[in-house]
Structure 1
């Protein structure tokens, strides 16, 4: 079987791959998310960063498929990444409350050896209800927004703010599984065939049931 690697430090992406029954090895290469010059459109930005992460992971392995992903929130043309602190999280939530925003995730899969690369992106529209200042303060104080693009977690407490999601829910969490499954099939790896055997998760050479 072709080894699969996830080049990401995100526990949410790891959980989603496990949910899909995909065996993988976790890689956590250091990758800068800074972009020189004028930022490209959101879909190009996340594709570029996903490719950068996958490429960093590909340098660590000799054989296999390396998955990279990057997620951003875009509100009226403004890109919202991960908040630097609680005050930044509150600022983002004040922007998002009572309105709609877009979540973009870029995906990249690189095959080693050879470096064959496939990229894609997904967009989901998310709408928040109106929030009070107290709700925003209390949510920021939980610490949940700390490492989340847009300062909220749709799979966590942030779910109580969301009134509608148009598009892929898993994209909002950080890994659009349907899109990824199609990409892996392009490399001859079929997720349903893997899931049928319920394989264990592989982390740095150690099996975990």
Structure 2
């Protein structure tokens, strides 16, 4: 195990709670990076680049970072800018399947490990009253796609194919595999699946 604690390069309380479940000591130091998608950049490339940028932007012997994007029709739905933006996102997601991509990047010294997890989430049909009631809460404002699956919006989810923890913000199985590969959780019989 590392003498210095792992650094989580995220201000997300959800990522902090999920990482704590793996039982590895860590400290939090949010990364300040430009999270603007580049022209022509695919959603997969975007989350992978952003997670890697965050891991590289923070000092520490071992740094873990992640980035999550909600993707509908090949378009990234970021955090809502205002109430109308959030309502528009929820109307677009209503009754449809979308992808949630979470990229995880781990840097230990000069070595890096990375992976991206895709989960397909299908929403129930949301009428205007459900959307308005949800927007009256504090929940949608700091979340990609204007919803948090771990909260009230969990009642919007008709089905989920993939990793629940990845939709929340940190895929636990895959993150554990990266930590094992980096020697931060003992020894790994095999590295992470790529």
TM over 0.5: yes
SS at match of 1:83: coil
Higher RCO, Cα 8 Å, sep 6+: 1
1:92 corresponds to: 89
Q: CA deviation at 1:190?
A: 2.1
RMSD: 1.6
Select the residue among 116, 122, 138 that pairs with 1:121. Answer: 116
Match of 1:78 in 2: 75
TM-score w.r.t. the length of structure 1 is 0.85
Q: 1:11 aligns with which of 13, 18, 26?
A: 13
Equivalences for residues 3-152 of structure 1 within 5 A: 3-39=5-41, 41-57=42-58, 60-61=59-60, 64-112=61-109, 115-152=110-147
Contact conserved, 2:22 with 2:176, CA < 8 A, in 1? no
Structure-2 change in CA distance of 1:24 and 1:73 (3 Å): same
TM-score, reference length from structure 2 = 0.91
Instruction: Identify unmatched segments of 5+ residues in structure 2.
Output: 188-194
2:174 aligned residue (170, 175, 179): 179
Provide the rounded CA distance (Å) in 1 between the counterparts of 2:98 and 2:37.
22
Q: 4+ residue stretches of structure 1 with deviation over 4 A? A: none
Shift of 1:82: 0.6
Does the C-alpha gap of structure 1 residues 96 and 35 become closer, same or farther in structure 2, counting only changes over 3 Å?
closer
| Count of aligned pairs | 186
